[in-house]
Amino acid sequence: MSTALLPGLERILFTEEQIDQRIREVGADISRHYQGKVVKLVGVLKGSVFFLTALARHIDVPLKIDFLGISSFSNKDGAPGVVRIAKDLDDSIEGEDVLLVEDIVDTGFTLRYLLQTLAGRAPNSLAVCTFLDRNSRRIVQVPVDYHCFEIPDRFVVGFGLDYNQLFRNLSYVAVMKPEKSA
């Protein structure tokens, strides 16, 4: 897909080149940390697929990959909802060094739920890597061990992030026009 700005998008926040460079750096950091170990990347569907795939290519230690899917339900707009696992892991993580891979960490509610759930499955270690970190909206403090970019409190799409299931396939991250994301 070209880098031309599509209708509904305000501006490009991170280019394909910036994303690639930052993922290479984070992959190198992860490789150093897990040297001599096998790391299990656990991607959170659907948004993390693009990031996890790119990240895995830049990790130089043996790795395994698994996925889980989540659903969240809320009675009010903007209110934290109830999170549940819609698609569980295919394999056990007991005794594994697990790196949870997210597309974005926002309020922290979903990540807290995932960390509590996965910690109860007795991994050897459990860390978090997110593509985007919107710390300005954090309500629940959660550990983020690796992140590629911090972003402002704006609705963004691309590189796995969507709006109504659209825009995931953009090779860049763009800010949506306010009237489109409302």
Residue 164 CB-density burial (10 A; 0-12 exposed, 13-18 middle, 19+ buried):
exposed
Residue among 121, 141, 165, 131 at smallest CA distance from 50: 131
As given in the structure block, the two tokens for residue 132 are 């985007």
Q: Given 106, 133, 153, 162, which residue is catalytic?
A: 106
Could you identify the residue written with the tokens 């096998």? Answer: 38
Q: Is 45 helix (H, G, I), strand (E, B) or coil?
A: strand
Residues 6+ apart with CB under 8 A from 83: 70, 71, 72, 109, 110, 113, 114
Query: Does 106 qualify as catalytic in the annotation?
Result: yes
- By annotation, the residues acting in catalysis are 106
